[in-house]
Amino acid sequence: MVRKAGHMRVLFDHQIFSYQTFGGASRYFCELMNVFARDGEPAFDVGVTESPNEYLAGASYYRGKRSPRRPPGMRGTAAFFRTYARNELHVRSLVRANSYDVVHATFYDPSVLRHVRNARLVVTVLDMIPERYPQYFDTVTLYGKLVTKRWIEGKRVLCNRADTILAISQKTKDDVVAMYGIDPARVTVTHLACSISGDGAKPSGFPARYVLFVGTRNTYKNFALFVEAAAVVLREDPSLHVACVGGGAFTPDEHALLEREHIADRVSQHSVADRDLAGAYGRAEAFVFPSLYEGFGIPILEAFACGCPTLVANASCFPEIAGDAALYFDPTSRDDLVAALRRVLGDASLRTSLRAAGTARVKAFTWENTARATLAAYRATPRESAVA
């Protein structure tokens, strides 16, 4: 345990680190613990004895081992359950050996309630996407029933039971209150930050001029509308391309969409290491974030930090995060996005002003601020539960 005499003791459970190799949720918890470890406050344990997680592997406070990435199919499901069971036993041993003031659940398996004992339970709500878009989540396969359905239902259980709920945006808080009937006084907003900054060389394989799309492309991410709008401006500007970072190779449906829009040879997908991501943002003509809903929207801050002119859907929490540092468009209108792209790509002074506004805006979002707000919420957490 990272500890100073007389300090609060916190246990982070294992859940997200048994699930994720990399991703926003595990990065958030690692960045939080990085600040806590650096500052020596609060004292904490992370209840993980083995994990495939990329961020945890390099952390100074992690003493567990690196487990391999899970193979596909049933072998992968079996490997996941083995890792999960080992970490669950490790959490039990920590709870038996230590007295904690706070147990901070890193995901939504209600089995974490077995470990709370006399501690206060804190739960972070990262988004309300399954509640808004249940049709996009598998709850019928074996994994879906045993894992996905369990955590979706468990989120409501844990929020009802939690002493304090942390929401990563005001919009997420509003949705928790509205969808779960939670008292707003029990929910504290703790904004996130981003983990990259500055400029860098353009990663190899990127086109000379490109509009950037980052992240997964499924369902509510609104990729199809983005492609339809991009196709219009690409036809008008023969030197322009689209570069997609992350999200894996294009699916057959995505290839068909690109072929239908006659831009398949001008849209590329790239897997980019974290160390090269700043260069991908910084060398782009513009970054477009067309998602219909997110809990926060870290790529917006990443684009700001790297000086990339940013176009953002006028939806969800995005105006809360981007403020006046982005150009907004209606995410249900191809024509509105086309107009926004034309405006940014055709106006050098606008691009310059957006870069400056983004650079200023991102300074308000730091992991130190996130950690400070989280620690204040721990200290203010009353030792009583809303629902037994």
Full set of structural domains in the chain with CATH: 9-193+367-380 (3.40.50.2000), 210-362 (3.40.50.2000)
| 311, pLDDT greater than 80 | yes
Q: Mean per-residue pLDDT for 307-331?
A: 98
Phi, psi of 123 (to 5 degrees): -125, 130
Beta strands 164-167; 102-105: pairing state: unpaired
Higher pLDDT, 198 or 190: 190
State the Cα–Cα distance between residues 373 and 365, nearest whole angstrom.
12
Confidence bin at 80 (pLDDT 50/70/90): confident
Beta strands 164-167; 120-125: pairing state: parallel
38-54 per-position pLDDT tens digit: 999 999 999 999 999 99
| 74, pLDDT greater than 70 | no
| 8, pLDDT greater than 60 | yes
Q: Where are the beta strands (DSSP E) in 114-266?
A: 120-125, 164-167, 187-189, 210-214, 241-245
State the Cα–Cα distance between residues 312 and 318, nearest whole angstrom.
7
Confidence bin at 3 (pLDDT 50/70/90): very low
How is residue 337 written in tokens?
């996005």
pLDDT at 213: 98
Confidence bin at 1 (pLDDT 50/70/90): low
105-116 per-position pLDDT tens digit: 999 999 999 999
User: What does pLDDT average to over the chain?
Assistant: 93
pLDDT at 383: 62
Least confident of 170-184, 213-227, 370-384: 370-384
pLDDT at 5: 45
Higher pLDDT, 368 or 385: 368
pLDDT at 257: 98
Q: Mean per-residue pLDDT for 130-159?
A: 91
State the Cα–Cα distance between residues 32 and 320, nearest whole angstrom.
21
Give the relative orientation of helices 367-380 and 24-39 as an angle to the nearest 10 degrees: 80
Higher pLDDT, 136 or 356: 356
Confidence bin at 6 (pLDDT 50/70/90): low
Q: Where are the beta strands (DSSP E) in 200-336?
A: 210-214, 241-245, 267-270, 286-289, 310-313, 327-329
